[in-house]
Amino acid sequence: MHTKNLTELAKGLREREFSSVEFTQACLERVGRLDEQLNCFITVTAEQALRQAHAADARIQSGEAGPLTGIPFAHKDIFCTQGVKTSCGSKMLDNFISPYDATVTQYLNEAGAVMIGKTNMDEFAMGSSNETSFYGPVKNPWDPQRVPGGSSGGSAAAVAARLVPASTGTDTGGSIRQPAALCGITGLKPTYGRVSRYGMIAFASSLDQGGPLTRSAEDAAIMLGAMAGFDARDSTSVDRPVEDYMVGLNDSLEGLKIGLPKEFFGAGLAGGVADAVTAALGEYEKLGATLVDISLPNTSLAVPTYYVVAPAECSSNLSRMDGVRFGYRASDPQDLEDLYTRSRGEGFGPEVKRRIMIGTYALSAGYYDAYYHKAQQVRRLIREDFLKAFETIDVIMGPTAPTAAFRLGEKSDAPITMYLSDIYTIAVNLAGLPGLSIPAGLTDGLPLGLQVIGNYFEEARLLNIAHRFQQVTDWHELAPQGFE
């Protein structure tokens, strides 16, 4: 069962080939047997999963099933889940049991999906390798000596290892797309505002966006259909109808104009990645697309802009973690200042502290205009680059990440080098655009990703473009050895 896609699983459940309880038990067995090698899960919710599976079987029996009813999935441990620990990969929230569900959690519950557990992640989503987690690093199933990418590394590795058929993730600067590329799966970051952020613990509020991690574009279309929608509780949610993302999956790509930014193919791009992207673009030409050279001139400013905006917003968001109302609390504080200082000092890890300090500095009196305000001005220029490009082309393509998965510990002591892992993805978040990564090849036995970037709310077009590629290639069907 673990080799089937979501459409095949839904068909098997409807036709009584197997029950949701049987499939859920099979997933739990694989997690119990294989996750020790990978460390994908922080919490496994076996009892709750089986209750949900029994309810799903009853719903299927009554003929009220949807495309996700009875299908197990994993939830990134950044989405609040009522009665279940929501840690954000941090000691700070190691004892936090959420009293409510995030909107995405609610929507997936209503769809009848079965939550197997909560996945490991970089602490408060701050990282590109899943090495900053309080619960230890996640290992890449293609090579356990290498990182799965981050911050949604636990979700990506769980899907790649066939522990679950689908998972949720969040993307602030590439945290769905980069781990999808490094683990050989499909990852979609929707347009900002398409998926509710209510109950999704905030890192950088103007950048964060939830989305699906799946094995294929078709599966991503099913997941996004359940996750998306307007939410009055989220002030940044866009009141726009949710499309049926399955309808246009097989549309022709004849005449599609693909923009290739010269800035995505320069220094720093590994040869194996460049070769895989070039081969993938050749497949698109066979499908009727035209390649057009373009320029996004402010791309080089994306990383420094992001690392002012994101830390500034995280500094503000994480100020609520003070040891008073919830989360980690230092023992025997001498006074209020000691409580604040030691709770935050002991509860946060090094990368989170680094970003809080950077962000606090950027927002401080005398520096706000020089840093945060200036970064927002540059952010607008980056957005305008994309909008100008979309006047003449339909989508933009290029590598998702500059290299394949790197070794655990290889970049831990070099934060700037680590930050450059997201050099091709960050600008998409700054502009609020949708972006998708699909498997496009292997180099030295490690998967590589092709990134497809679209205009606002063109998720259906991106999924169509990805699906047509996956109909003529089999990169998305490859499984890491030992997890077939």
Catalytic site positions:
76, 151, 175
Task: Provide the pairing of β-strand 209-214 with 290-294.
Answer: unpaired
Q: What is the distance of C-alpha 349 from the center of its chain? A: 21
Residue type, 29: E
Rounded to 5 degrees, φ, ψ at 191 are -55, 140
**Which DSSP string do the residues of 427-445 spell out, in sequence order?**
HHHHHT--EEEEEEEEETT
Classify burial at 215, counting beta carbons within 10 Å of its beta carbon; exposed 0-12, middle 13-18, buried 19 or more. buried
Q: At what angle do helices 46-61 and 6-14 cross, to 10 degrees?
A: 60
Task: Find tokens 């680590």 and name the residue.
Answer: 418
How far apart are alpha carbons 178 and 145 in whole angstroms?
Answer: 18
For 327-343, b/e burial (b = at least 16 CB within 10 A) is bbbbeeeeeeeebbbbb
Residue 189, CB-side half-sphere exposure with 13 Å CA sphere: 35
Residue 454, CB-side half-sphere exposure with 13 Å CA sphere: 21
